[in-house]
Structure 1
Amino acid sequence: MTRPFGYFVHHQGRGHAERCAAIAHALPAERPLTIFCARDDIFPPLPAQARIVRIPSLFEATGDEATTMDWVPTPATLHCAPLGWPGIRQAMATISGWFASADPALMICDVSAEIAQLSRICSVPHVKILQHGDRGDAGHRAAYDGAAGLLAAFHADLAQPDWDTGMRARTCFAGGLGVDTHVPDRAEARARIGVEANVELVLVLSGGGGGGFGQAPLGIGARSRPASRWITIGPVVRDWHATEPHNIEHRGWVDNPADYVAAADLVIASTGNTTCQQILAAARPWLAIPEWRYFDEQHRKADAIAAAGVACVRPHLPSSADAWGDAIAEALATHAPDRQRRLIAAAPAADAARWLETLADRLWTPPDQPARNAA
């Protein structure tokens, strides 16, 4: 029987689950896959050989926790490891118990420094999903340095300059992983979302990992460009002092974001990984605004995007009509669609699955035998 892969999926946002599902479908049908996650409702459909095991959240209190023990120092090699939490004990016991019973070939961690280190401690080789951010701390270094390999759901041109040659050599870059890279026809997309063919559409896109953009600055932007139609999808933070013009509409969560991106003349969006890959695949003019995330993840992603020349980047939404005008003019003038499309692989999930299979084969092939998938 083929040894299984394990996969830990963080449940904040949807990107972790979407790239897990993409890899699951690309793996060989005979490769069992056990997914550990605190939620099972964030996943797209999965293949028959994949199953989800729900575990307690590693960072959300339920009320069953002991009185705070925060006076006990947290070692630098851990990020979130509160004491006295039965849910964490249950989650770790479930995963380590599966390690003992299933004898997995590989554990994929997306993302948790603690789960990555648990895998290494339990003598299970792991692959760590690589994210942008200021992650040179001891916890991330332990997870990365102890990994059999690293997997990045973006193109190598978006690598951070502080990732050295050795780190990049251990990384599989898969631009577009987890995203449907088929771009709908612009005219058909406009018809589906109810936007006229001849109007300039400015799309504001907020992902599921945060609270969204503020209503007030978006109102200023829409008022500064009155001939355009502005549509927001995803969350928007309501501001009591916001005064909005008639040309902005908030549609909230939608089931077809790809249609909106394909229909847009300009996209204003944060720099979460799924959002980035959707916009790059559609090759649309992009005003990129990083949101707050742990370890400044989106800010470092924005730096990489700016360096690659695939978006106009601002540190926050423009705060005046003049600033909006300057940002939009730059986004339109510097648009490089061919450069954007080049950062999306033709078959990123297949590339990642092939790399994982080759890595597992190398790990479990005795040194005196040739690896089955050796190039």
Structure 2
Amino acid sequence: MIGIYAHHHGSGHMHRCRAIQRELRAMGHECEILSTAGGDVTLIDDASDTPRELRSGRAMTAGGTLHYAPYGAPQIARRFAQIANWVAEHQPDAFYVDVSNEIAAFVRLMGVPVVVHAMPGARGDAPHQLAYAQADAIVAAWPDWVPVPDHLQAHADRLHAVGGISRLTPRKSVERNPNHVVVMAGLGGSTWSPEDWDAVQRACPEYRFTFLGGDNHVDDPTELLQSAGIAVTAGGQNSVADLAATDTPAVILPQPRPFAEQKLGALALDGLATVRNAFPAPDEWPELLRQRDTDWGRWQTEGAARRAAEVIAAVAENPGQPATCVITLADANRKDHLTHQVNLMPMGVDHVTVALADAEVLTKAVPKSHVVEGPRNLAAARNLGAQVAIERGAEVLVFLDADCLASDALVPRYVSALSQRPDAVVAGPVTYMRQGEMRVTDPDPHPARPNPTPGELVDADNYNLFWSLSFALTATTWERIERDFGGFDPGYEGYGGEDTDFARELQRHGIPLVWVGGAHAFHQWHPVSSPPWEHIEDIVANANRFHAKWGSFPMEGWLEAFEAEGGVVKQDAPARYILRNYELHHPRGK
């Protein structure tokens, strides 16, 4: 069973849902529409007649988190009870919402995978963003060449532009009357008046006008549209789709709607129809009605309802996300930071800690993590962590430094990126926090690393920017890495160089490195020395090993700082760095 919610304002939502329902049923799915406007399950109306003070400001919007939640409206509770009872009885595999942010959130809270319908307009507000973020998929009834709107950029990985969805089936061999104008206002209402059209008709006496709207409607306008020389309509999604399905030349007059839906949606119609944001003066209409050029095939209406049904069916058949495990390395020195990481980790994510030392201490500190005793060698410890995670069933591996906290978006962004680029290693931005800070919001990423917009994926052109602080890959890619070059190279001892070596191996073996917008990690403060004199021996040894392998030095900023203060000297032939009485200038541990 698949559930569908159809909004009851206007007729377009129901028409669209019926078209999708037919396709789902043709694919073998049981499917019922819940709606106040004549669905298979009739819901009571939620219109409120409560006192104004109970349905204004915070009372209406729950402090800006919802669109419609007034106090003192018991019919809303009864309406939600109807939906809850239907869900409890049918246990749907998925639920398509067209449209209501409150219904989408409510059904999702009952543990049902949700697909939401994306509407045009300015919808960056919190309620819309909540619905989009919670959805397993988002259906947009516009063609795939339309640029992703700003409010959907962060959710583009789950956005499916299926084309305009029309309920109409065009007939063959219908001849158009060039002097017949069909005017459709739609049930949503219009700003034009009978007096406006009286003036237009006086200015265009050679045309015959048919007016549809309000009480004057036809169940199926296919023949009227196909026989008309031109149509004049509002800018609703269904009206546009019907024009495209019947290939009818049109003048489109976007009407005032919430979130500037029609006006902003009409921006995509340039070259497909004539759009006017205000009702034209009578003397403009003779020229407007002569404009018949159109290219409605670009609106991709053919098969659009089927494509929407396939998106919904795919969610019903395979909801959820791959098993994911976060892997980190730690010892007792990082115990507090590790506990913060584990306790702030999103629910439903496995966690493995490879103890570089002090396994018993860490096991007590982070009982929610699976702690395994490992080698002190960082490269070998990462390789062990991957092995343990895969043995525990992980399909996605997220490597996160023990000092780092995961934002709520980190795991979902990585999982989404890997669903699109399963052959890649993906990495997100890292924000360094100040002393005393503890947060996983308001990122301010380190400027030396890429920071794409949320949801954007950018192929790396400089693998040297790879950072082992935060990255992810599929278990399948890790297994390929093990076959190709063994994972992180344990020949690097102690601190430094092994992650840059790993990135070079990725590049040499043709494994893409992809920067993921919005996959933010937050690095907790701890004292640092720059350059890190306490690690100078490891850094010099690892830098020389790296140069012998790759012909260049990593960590050059530190090496140059050591050299400037007399800690090392650079030798040209063979190229290498040599320790030089550094303890006289910088005693170990300073």
Shorter-chain TM-score bucket reads: 0.7 to 0.9
CA contact (8 A) 2:168 2:220 kept: no
Rounded Cα–Cα distance in structure 2 between residues aligned with 1:120 and 1:254 = 37
Name the aligned partner's letter for residue 100 of structure 2: S
Equivalent position of 1:149 in the other structure: 137
CA contact (8 A) 2:137 2:311 kept: no
Percentage identity across paired residues of the two chains: 28
Deviation at 1:14, TM superposition (A): 1.7
Rounded Cα–Cα distance in structure 2 between residues aligned with 1:70 and 1:16 = 25
Alignment pair present for 1:173 and 2:161: yes
SS in 2 for 1:13: coil
Q: Cα–Cα, structure 1 residues 295 and 224, in superposed 2: closer, same or farther, change >3 Å?
A: same
Q: Cα–Cα, structure 1 residues 326 and 172, in superposed 2: closer, same or farther, change >3 Å?
A: same
Equivalent position of 2:282 in the other structure: 320
Alignment pair present for 1:207 and 2:186: yes
Name the aligned partner's letter for residue 317 of structure 1: F
Match of 1:138 among 119, 123, 126: 126
Rounded Cα–Cα distance in structure 1 between residues aligned with 2:320 and 2:32 = 19
Q: Cα–Cα, structure 1 residues 28 and 261, in superposed 2: closer, same or farther, change >3 Å?
A: closer
Equivalent position of 2:565 in the other structure: none
CA contact (8 A) 1:135 1:295 kept: yes
> Which stretch of structure 1 is more off in the superposition, 84-93 or 358-367?
358-367
Q: How does 1:363-374 map onto structure 2 within 5 Å? A: 363=319
SS in 2 for 1:157: coil
Match of 1:359 among 315, 321, 326: 315
Alignment pair present for 1:279 and 2:243: yes
Equivalent position of 1:110 in the other structure: 98
Equivalent position of 2:30 in the other structure: 32
Equivalent position of 1:17 in the other structure: 14
CA contact (8 A) 1:20 1:178 kept: no
Deviations 1:176-202 (A, max 9, x none): 424224245333xx7xxxxxx5x6112
Rounded Cα–Cα distance in structure 1 between residues aligned with 2:102 and 2:85 = 16
Name the aligned partner's letter for residue 297 of structure 2: R
> Which stretch of structure 1 is more off in the superposition, 261-270 or 353-362?
353-362
Q: How does 1:1-375 map onto structure 2 within 5 Å? A: 4-28=1-25, 30-40=28-38, 52-58=40-46, 60-61=47-48, 65=50, 68-70=53-55, 73=58, 74=61, 75-159=63-147, 161-163=149-151, 165=153, 167-187=155-175, 200-211=179-190, 213-235=192-214, 252-306=216-270, 309-321=271-283, 323-329=284-290, 331-332=291-292, 335-336=293-294, 339-363=295-319
SS in 1 for 2:318: helix
Rounded Cα–Cα distance in structure 1 between residues aligned with 2:155 and 2:231 = 33
Deviation at 1:325, TM superposition (A): 3.7
Rounded Cα–Cα distance in structure 2 between residues aligned with 1:261 and 1:281 = 10
CA contact (8 A) 1:26 1:353 kept: yes
Superposition CA RMSD, Å:
2.8
Deviation at 1:359, TM superposition (A): 2.0
> Which stretch of structure 1 is more off in the superposition, 131-140 or 360-369?
360-369
Rounded Cα–Cα distance in structure 2 between residues aligned with 1:27 and 1:219 = 45
Deviation at 1:327, TM superposition (A): 3.4
SS in 1 for 2:54: coil
Deviation at 1:164, TM superposition (A): 5.1
Rounded Cα–Cα distance in structure 2 between residues aligned with 1:152 and 1:114 = 19
Name the aligned partner's letter for residue 84 of structure 1: G
Deviations 1:11-61 (A, max 9, x none): 112221122112222124652223221132xx6xxxxxxxx2222222x23
Name the aligned partner's letter for residue 5 of structure 1: I
Q: Cα–Cα, structure 1 residues 71 and 353, in superposed 2: closer, same or farther, change >3 Å?
A: closer
Rounded Cα–Cα distance in structure 2 between residues aligned with 1:292 and 1:95 = 31
Deviation at 1:80, TM superposition (A): 1.2
Name the aligned partner's letter for residue 98 of structure 2: D
Rounded Cα–Cα distance in structure 2 between residues aligned with 1:364 and 1:164 = 21
Rounded Cα–Cα distance in structure 1 between residues aligned with 2:9 and 2:56 = 28
CA contact (8 A) 1:129 1:151 kept: yes
Unmatched segments (≥5 aa) in structure 2: 324-392, 396-418, 420-590
Rounded Cα–Cα distance in structure 1 between residues aligned with 2:148 and 2:282 = 31
Rounded Cα–Cα distance in structure 2 between residues aligned with 1:105 and 1:341 = 34
Name the aligned partner's letter for residue 142 of structure 1: L
Rounded Cα–Cα distance in structure 1 between residues aligned with 2:104 and 2:394 = 28
SS in 1 for 2:145: helix
Q: TM-score, normalised by structure 2?
A: 0.51
Deviation at 1:366, TM superposition (A): 7.3
Unmatched segments (≥5 aa) in structure 1: 44-51, 191-196, 237-251
Deviation at 1:139, TM superposition (A): 0.8
SS in 1 for 2:150: coil
Q: TM-score, normalised by structure 1?
A: 0.78
Larger radius of gyration: 2
Equivalent position of 1:241 in the other structure: none
Deviation at 1:312, TM superposition (A): 1.1
SS in 2 for 1:265: strand
Deviation at 1:154, TM superposition (A): 2.5
Deviation at 1:72, TM superposition (A): 6.6
CA contact (8 A) 1:128 1:149 kept: yes
